[in-house]
Homo-oligomer: A and B are copies of this chain.
């Protein structure tokens, strides 16, 4: 039989799987000799047994009893004894904290007898009856599942009758009366009595914690966060200590350094004569932690000492909950504390300087997501514009524009060159065009998986959602904010996607110092200490990550300008240079000619006109990436993308009637001929190359001549030619043979490889590798085809619903879906390498800049990731972290 219960003296911080985060850290502190109230932890294994068997596992009750007796013995008190009773709290504590689960029941052990003992022992009758009614209230809500409202109403009733507004104005008799009322509520609602047996109270509370593991909100949360369903939760039984036993008592939270900036010092809040729940309720104002030095110098000194001990021990910023009971300091909880992105970088390097951690560990302490946050422009905090609301930080960035309330208006104003913010109660797929036209999106409803949030993140557009204080009146084209603020259509507002803040008027935007650093326009030696330290920290950790990473990082860039920027951001080449933009703009006419060509000669003439233009594009890119590899993808999209829209052109011709121009008529013919039901699955990529004679060879010749020209000019151009949308090796062979002929003719060398973006390419990678010198995973298309949905169509239509239902934890377009797409990738890597051991393997889908996906790419052994220039630093950092994590991925 497994051991189901651990005394705090038996556990340690590394047993989170078994004891949960809270229990493991309580044990750790106990072993460090810190003043933790005695107690024990029931393991998550016991929970798993309970959930599996539908009842407490054999032997658990006995083991709990043994530990409880030991606790009673140690405390010299008995649980719920009539005189001087021992009281305990029951607290859930899973490995990962999880909203929706039962959290805590305090004051277990009180009943009509022991409440007297507590009163006597504390010398405070009011305190004792208040504690008792709190127990019934908490127990009723969380264990018995009653509406909290019922209890709130009863207490309000008492206050109203008494003519007071604060709980502080209620006396012992009032609380005693409330205890009776509460018992009545329990009886009425459940048909049974509130259990007076202390051990029964505890048993029910423990079981309620176990049951809450499967509360619907907890299940959905786990799905969304991809926390396995079978972990279970631990339960902590802790002797009660009271911060509400008078002015010499109190409760507080502390941080071992500033979680906002990373600054060293003492940060926290303290509230005299209170319990933790009072702090949360916000009835009274807390004081800064430093004031504790005046209120209780001895406890303060001891607290600082403990904070130092914990930080040295955990070698990281810790946050702490503590209670002082009549001058005696107790530690109720500690954990490694959350912090802002800037603080994370600064703290990591500070800890290195303090000798607590080495640079390897420091790199592990910061994340690509944090770095990305630091790269967004921010609003100038000192600008002093009025903050009118706060919603959820759904998609980062800082956006300023005129408020508009409909998609139509967003498009109109945007077309006039205005910046607009689309404001809606919530968005629907109908708002898609408006979201595209807007600089940012603000909604008053919905959370981080709402339609607005999901779509905005997909677009990389700033979004604040669920700003519930706002009343949006779309018909009236206005919204109102608290304090009588009304914003009419056309009024300028500013929204901060990183903080969820909404400001009236235009807030000046401040460039990111981290971006300035990458751009080379800022060093760590300026006049603003905080910024300088941040830049120094980023510099140091990036260099170290670069040193450690195994994977190269390239950029997706189509122009010399993007290529140059990517290089400044640390890109080691171009992993994806799309050639289709080279067919747009002024050249559209030539492409139309190509499509309208009715003879081989006409087609040839159109291609001949395009070739020198293509060549000059490539020359510029090779120049910007001199000495580094440039992977050029031959044209991929279906040709009709270069022609007018079928519906628009049909309407135009219908309205023009006999006056329609011959060219328009011919164009309509071509558009109809090339029209496809599903262009994503149509005539594109390598299929174009095989079906339209001369198209790919024109591109290859342009590349070869650009290489020759750069080489003649003393440059070091390194071209790689990439064939898109291959699904069978035979397709690739044909195109490769033609390309090799041209390369041989021009005396130019270039690797020829292929995208792996069609499931069949991955499934037959062993064969395809025989004809490909490199693979580049096109995970956008691969995700679309593996899941069978197109990003354009379904992301707006139902991703938010899928996230709500927990079908995805995160959109598979954001992070590689390991079980589906990832499985195909792993298979292609293994079989591709088996067939050609020196094959070069990379990724050029947008996942190449996503932290978790970068780890996955490292795990499966890719040689490089390629992403947008702006994400290059993120990919560098995460590639370093992945290498340091030793092949194991950090999924949270």
Given known contacts A430-B673, A680-B678, A793-B682, is B781 in contact with A760 (CB within 8 Å)? Answer: no
Q: Which of B650, B655, B677, B764 has a CB less than 8 Å from the CB of A819?
A: B764
Contacts of A691 in B (CB 8 A): 797-798, 801
Interface check A134, CB cutoff 8 A: no
Stretch at the interface among A556-564, A566-574, A723-731: A723-731
Does A274 count as interface, using CB distance less than 8 angstroms? Answer: no
The answer on a CB contact under 8 Å between B792 and A678 is: yes
CB distance from A594 to the nearest CB of B (A): 17
| Proximity bits, A789-818, B CB within 8 Å = 1, else 0 | 110111001100110011110000000010
Q: How far is the CB of A434 from chain B (nearest CB, A)?
A: 13
CA distance A407 to B105 in the complex (A): 79
Kindly state whether residue A238 has any CB partner on chain B within 8 Å. no
Q: Establish whether residues A820 and B673, one from each chain, have CB atoms under 8 Å apart when the complex forms.
A: no
**From B788, B797, B802, contact of A760 by CB (8 A):** B788
Q: A595 → chain B, closest Cβ, in Å?
A: 13
Q: Which of A351-369 contact B (CB under 8 A)?
A: none
Q: For residues 722 through 776 of chain A, which have their beta carbon under 8 Å from a beta carbon of chain B?
A: 725, 727-728, 730-731, 734, 757-760, 763-764, 767
The reply to whether the CB of A654 lies closer than 8 angstroms to some CB of chain B is yes
Cβ B687 vs Cβ A798 within 8 A? yes
If A691-B797, A792-B677, A819-B764 touch, whether A734 touches B682 (CB-CB below 8 Å) is no
Point out the residue from B730, B763, B764 that lies within 8 Å of A806, measured CB to CB: B730
Q: Is the interface of A mostly helix, strand, loop or mixed?
A: helix
Q: Are A760 and B734 closer than 8 Å at their CB atoms?
A: no
How far does the alpha carbon of A727 sit from the alpha carbon of B821 in the complex, in Å?
11
- Are A807 and B759 closer than 8 Å at their CB atoms? no
In the complex, what distance in Å separates the CA atom of A687 from the CA atom of B807? 11
A793 touches B681 (CB 8 A): yes
Q: Which bucket holds chain A's interface residue count?
A: 35 or more
Q: How far is the CA of A802 from the CA of B731 in the complex (A)?
A: 9
Kindly supply a per-residue 1/0 record for chain A positions 678-693, scoring 1 wherever the CB is within 8 Å of any chain B CB and 0 otherwise. Answer: 1111110001001100
Asked if A14 CB lies within 8 Å of chain B CBs, one says no
Do A763 and B683 contact each other (CB < 8 Å), given the known contacts A730-B223, A758-B787, A785-B785? no
CA distance A802 to B686 in the complex (A): 12
CB <8 Å contact, A797 and B678: no
Q: Indicate if A784 sits at the interface (CB-CB under 8 A).
A: yes
A788 and B758 form a contact (CB under 8 A): yes
Within the assembled complex, what's the spacing in Å between the Cα atoms of A690 and B651? 35
Q: Are A801 and B690 also in contact (CB < 8 A) when A728-B807, A763-B823, A807-B731 are?
A: yes
Cβ contact within 8 Å between B730 and A759: no
Q: Mark A210-247, 1 if CB is under 8 A from B, else 0.
A: 00000000000001000000000000000000000000
A807: which B residues are within 8 A, CB to CB?
Answer: 690, 728, 730-731, 734
Nearest CB in chain B: distance from A603 CB, A? 15
Tell me whether A786 and B760 are in contact in the complex, defined as CB-CB below 8 angstroms, given that A650-B650, A677-B793, A690-B805 are known contacts: yes
Chain B residues with CB below 8 A from A824, complex form: 759, 763
A-B contact pairs, 29 of them (CB 8 A): A650-B651, A651-B651, A651-B654, A676-B792, A677-B793, A678-B680, A681-B788, A682-B794, A683-B794, A690-B798, A690-B805, A727-B786, A727-B787, A727-B788, A727-B820, A728-B807, A728-B820, A734-B805, A757-B788, A758-B787, A759-B785, A759-B820, A760-B786, A760-B787, A763-B819, A763-B820, A763-B823, A763-B824, A764-B820
List 6 extra interface pairs beyond A678-B793, A734-B807, CB under 8 A.
A651-B654, A681-B790, A681-B794, A683-B794, A730-B805, A730-B806
